[in-house]
Amino acid sequence: MMSKKLPVIDAAWTLFLDRDGVINYEKVEDYIHHWDEFRFYPKAPESIATLSNLFGKTIVVTNQKGIGKGVTVESDVRDIHTKMKAAIMQHGGKIDAVYYCPATDANDPCRKPNIGMAVQAKDEFGSVDFNRSIMVGNNPSDMQFGRRAGMITILLTTTRLADTVDEQLVDFVFSDLAAVAAAFTR
């Protein structure tokens, strides 16, 4: 798995990031309902700044089933994303778009591991090339999403051990976004 070499990144590449468990701490057995519950991982805003200055586009793709279940208000999720993007901008980074899927149905085309959110990004930004894209996530569904779209996949071990995910879905494993940023700037 780790014998591969990271690609050389330039503005033709797109970085896809999952949200909970990648950018911020997940809530165990619950959802992030409001901005006051959102807590960045250490160095996450700075790491996204580093990465977003290497990649042409930086896009967040996140399942937000709490909306579909009626336990999270959609306007609160949009508020979280607005404030998250602003905090990252304060560190010199940017998120070009955030796509979220409120669906509870696993067959919904936008719900990861299905690639609907990747297709939305490609439709919105014509420059997105899945063969020049990297998906960073912490769950098997993130790795399946990346693999199905033809992206390079990076698993973060923020919430699970690497050996709990099918290694055929994972190209690289890192502890967190700071380690990813460090690897791309070596």
pLDDT for 11-56, tens place per residue? 999 999 999 999 999 998 899 999 999 999 999 999 999 999 999 9
Query: What number of other Cβ atoms are within 10 A of residue 127's Cβ?
Result: 13
- Taking 70 as the threshold, does the pLDDT of residue 86 lie above it? yes
105 among known catalytic residues: no
* Domain ranges within the chain, ordered by starting residue: 14-184
Task: Evaluate whether 179 touches 138 at the Cβ level (below 8 Å).
Answer: no
Given the residues 10, 18, 36, 96, select the one marked as catalytic.
Answer: 18
Is the pLDDT score of 1 beyond 50?
no
Place of tokens 């050996």: 163
Q: What is the pTM of this model?
A: 0.96
Average pLDDT over residues 56-81: 97
What is the C-alpha separation between 29 and 135, in angstroms, rounded?
A: 24
Query: Which residue among 10, 20, 79, 142 is the active-site one?
Result: 20
Q: Model confidence over 140-165: pLDDT tens digits?
A: 999 999 999 999 999 999 998 888 89
CATH assignment, 14-184: 3.40.50.1000
Lay out the sheet containing 152-156: strands in order across: 97-101, 57-63, 14-17, 133-137, 152-156, 172-174
Cα separation, 115 vs 61, in Å, equals 10
Is 96 a catalytic site residue? no
Per-residue pLDDT band at 3 (split at 50, 70, 90): low
